[in-house]
Amino acid sequence: MKIVVIGGSGLIGKKLVNKLREHGHEAVAASPSSGVDTLTGAGLPEVIKGAQVVVDVANSPSFEDTAVLKFFETSARNILAAEAASGVRHHVALSVVGADRMPNVGYMRAKVAQERLIQASSIPYTILRATQFFEFIGQLADGSTNGNTVLLSSVVMQPIAADDVAAALARVALDPPVNGIVDVAGPEPLGLDEFARRLLSSKHDPRQVTTDTQTIYFGAKVDKNSLTPSDNPRLGPTRFEDWLSHSTIQK
């Protein structure tokens, strides 16, 4: 089966393409580097021709409110139009758990806008909402560092390994469309501050994590349910401690 992965050169896209190919499918990585531009539509009809499934894991190069909204809306419209012309039977998109609960965050508003365009189209679809990736916790810590102190929210998260996200996307792509939203998360809920402490400790990083009692996440106030999955999510098998150990061994 031909499966086109939009954003196939990114973190999740590369892993997904490899997993699909391991299962014997014709997985095609589409990205600007391969001549496919979702903002202009250039290359989309050619790469999508003959595909049964298209998986969109592309991300905006800018998170500025106006730019990110334009990216996800324009890209979705162009991809869906090319799919309709080619007869694609299943559109899969990667989104974010909690996107609809944080309307004050521009990126989340943009993802919800993307979801609505998919839901309104004629293409059968599955939207996979994933929690934050383990791989990004270090970036969150770095962005909240002042001197030797890391100020982070205690908001409860249930992050997941990027490998497990790719595996979940592969399963969704090969299954029939659900015409709805599916959540995927890691196996354990914990505060963002505590995830960061464990990460820094595993790296022998001298920075100290201080808990932000205002519970702010990307400038928005959140509660204990904002970043956690809905009831009965699909769960990735990789625990954070195991991921940390593997990351340490690789280095």
Mean pLDDT, the chain cut into blocks of 10 residues (251 residues total): 96 97 97 95 97 97 95 98 98 96 92 98 98 94 93 92 98 97 96 95 95 76 83 94 78 44
- Token match 């994590």: residue? 209
- What's the pLDDT at 214? 74
Cα distances (Å, whole numbers) of residue 231 to 14, 97, 126, 227: 29, 12, 17, 13
Domain that holds residue 163: 2-250
CB atoms within 10 A of CB 84: 14
- What's the pLDDT at 231? 85
H helix or E strand, kind and range, residue 85: helix 65-86
Cα distances (Å, whole numbers) of residue 217 to 100, 135, 139, 153: 14, 17, 13, 7
pTM reported for the whole predicted model: 0.93
- What's the pLDDT at 215? 65
Contact between residue 45 and residue 37 where contact means Cβ atoms under 8 Å apart: no
Contact between residue 105 and residue 219 where contact means Cβ atoms under 8 Å apart: yes
Side-chain half-sphere CA neighbours of 50 within 13 A: 7
Indicate if the alpha-carbon torsion angle 159, 161, 166, 169 is positive or negative: negative
Q: Which residues contact 175 (CB under 8 A, 6 or more apart)?
A: 126
- What's the pLDDT at 222? 79
SS3 per residue for 20-54: HHHCCCEEEEECHHHCCCCCCCCCHHHHHCCCCEE
- What's the pLDDT at 248? 55
CATH code: domain of residue 196: 3.40.50.720
For residue 123, give the 3-state DSSP assignment.
coil
Gap between the Cα atoms of 27 and 20, Å rounded: 6
177 secondary structure, DSSP code: P
Contact between residue 210 and residue 151 where contact means Cβ atoms under 8 Å apart: yes
Q: Record the tokens describing residue 34, joined without a space.
A: 């391969």
Domains in the chain: how many in total?
1
Contact between residue 31 and residue 8 where contact means Cβ atoms under 8 Å apart: yes
Gap between the Cα atoms of 246 and 97, Å rounded: 25
**DSSP letters along 196-246, please?**
HHHHHHHTT---EEEEETT-EETTEE--TTSSS--SS-EE-S--HHHHHHH
CB atoms within 10 A of CB 219: 9
